[in-house]
Amino acid sequence: MDSPEGATIRSEQKFRKFLKSLVRKQPRDLLLVIGTGVSAAVAPGIPALCSWRSCIEAVLGAAEQLEVLHPGDVAEFRNKVMKERDLLVVAHDLIRKMSPRTGDTKPNFFQDCLMEVFDNLEQHIQNPVVLQSILRLMERGTMVLTTNYDNLLEIFGQQQGKPMESLDLKDKDKVLQWARGHVKYGVLHIHGLYTDPCGMVLDPSGYKDVTQDPEVMEVLQNLYRTKSFLFLGCGETLRDQIFQALFLYTVKNKVDLEHYMLVLKENEDHFFKLQADMLLHGIKVVSYGDCFQQFPEYVQDLTAQICKQRSPDAERVDSTTPLGTSCVDCAKRKLGESGTDSKRIKGSANDIPTLQ
């Protein structure tokens, strides 16, 4: 049986209102940005997935056990984690400390520590509700990028029989295919993936080949101009230097855009200030509730609302068939009498997505 707390959460979610400007989006018009909050909801048993602070602390613990970082350096970084507000800077410094001094991207001990921390991820998926919702949107054309090192979404998607692909910014051809909508189940990891010894980057300087490539940058920035980004579990993403370099600071007239960010509303003053500040970036901040446990069901219900929307293809069919899709054969005969090609109508009817 459900606990009283769980029943209360579901009751609150059941009657929650959603922004119509968001739920009326077609899935293919959305691009999901996945942060640590998604991983924390899916695999709460791995503390390193819960936040950048937890991730750095777990990496330091692994470095200590594997003896790949001097004890004095471990103590210094633990002190930084406690005091430093910008944890991405700490993470960046830690990667540098555990990498070759040449400055370029080479195999490093940071990756070994992450592999230790993220060992056997598939065994730790406890609450796949958010991943199920993301896959449901991807089936309908939604694109996905993430700041996370883990590949929980790809693991879960493969378990569901989906041809998932993990992409990083260093594979130009794949990035261009993904950005143009040709990799349906591709997940772009803008920091790289923990399984790739050379692919982890936190500093834009590590992606000079990308940021200085006009073709790639134009395609990526066009996504920010033409798609509605939906930020899920992204507490630190807008301060992320790579995300800023790719999207936030390179696209002009952001106030004219319409993006969305789901956040926890712990403090009303902070929440409404964040709303006002983010509107300047073209981002509408939306509360999913006042406790993190509400996040998975909110995403599930939001996804259901978005997937209820009829596609333009379906509406074109219905505008041709006065009695709706149940009378397509009548429409064919009627259009056939007027000389219209009935094969095109048949194709349109078959294009109507099956809602789940």
- What per-residue confidence (pLDDT) applies to 147? 87
- pLDDT, residue 78, reads 93
> What is the distance between the alpha carbons of residues 181 and 136, in angstroms, rounded to a whole number?
16
Q: Residue 333's pLDDT is what?
A: 42
- Rounded to whole angstroms, the Cα distance separating 327 from 323 reads 6
User: In the prediction, which pLDDT does 198 show?
Assistant: 63
pLDDT in tens, 156-204: 999 999 999 999 888 889 999 999 999 999 999 988 888 875 666 666 6
What's the pTM value of the predicted model, to 2 decimals? 0.77
Tokens 């509400």: give the residue. Answer: 294
User: 349 near 335, Cβ under 8 Å?
Assistant: no
pLDDT at 17: 86
Structure tokens at 238: 């807008």
What integer pLDDT is reported at residue 18 of this predicted model? 94
Residues 6+ apart with CB under 8 A from 308: 23, 355
Q: How far apart are the first and last CA of the chain?
A: 26
Q: What's the pLDDT at 185? A: 97
240: helix, strand or coil: coil
Of the candidates 319, 341, 342, 316, the residue with the CA atom closest to the CA atom of residue 329: 342
- Residues 210/216/221/222 CA torsion (nearest 10 deg): -170
Main-chain dihedrals φ then ψ at residue 48, nearest 5 degrees = -65, -20
Pairing state between β 165-168 and 259-264:
unpaired
Q: Which residues of the chain have pLDDT under 50?
A: 8-13, 103-105, 314-356
- Which secondary-structure segment (H or E) carries 224? helix 214-226
Q: Would you state the structure tokens that stand for residue 219, as one six-digit string? A: 């395609």
Dist CA 97 CA 59 (whole Å): 13
